[in-house]
């Protein structure tokens, strides 16, 4: 049993808007979200379907590792983030975008 069965808002943190994600959104019906690093593809799919009331066809995930930065007090390495690229059914759109 998963932790995310209670509230899908814990799985999806925020939508990610960039030039690349906007192009994918307009051309291929793919939406990009920042998600919890522990979430699986099935949990992400269920969370998007319940939060936005759409049908999800496919979920691709990737873990984005950040560069270490040099500051006054040493080297700081930010924690990695997980992104999910979600492809919707041809008839569905998300009104947030």
CB atoms within 10 A of CB 56: 20
* Predicted local confidence at residue 2, as pLDDT: 60
Q: What is the CATH number of the domain that holds 31?
A: 3.30.70.330
Would the pLDDT of 37 be above 90? yes
Q: Which domain holds residue 59?
A: 3-88
Would the pLDDT of 97 be above 60? no
pTM across the whole model: 0.83
Residue 15: burial class (beta carbons within 10 Å; 0-12, 13-18, 19+): middle
- Decide if 26 is inside a domain: yes
For the chain, how far is it from start to end, CA to CA, in angstroms?
Answer: 32
Number of domains in the chain: 1
- Decide if 38 is inside a domain: yes
Q: Across residues 83-94, what is the average pLDDT?
A: 93
């Amino acid at each position: 049993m998963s932790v995310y069965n209670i509230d899908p808002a814990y799985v999806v943190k925020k939508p990610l808007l960039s030039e690349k994600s906007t192009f994918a959104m307009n051309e291929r019906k793919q939406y990009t979200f920042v998600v919890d690093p522990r979430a699986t593809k099935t949990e992400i799919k269920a969370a998007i379907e319940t939060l936005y009331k759409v049908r999800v066809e496919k979920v691709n995930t990737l873990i984005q590792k950040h560069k270490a930065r040099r500051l006054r007090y040493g080297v700081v390495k930010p924690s990695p983030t997980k992104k999910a690229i979600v492809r919707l059914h041809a008839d569905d759109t998300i009104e947030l975008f």
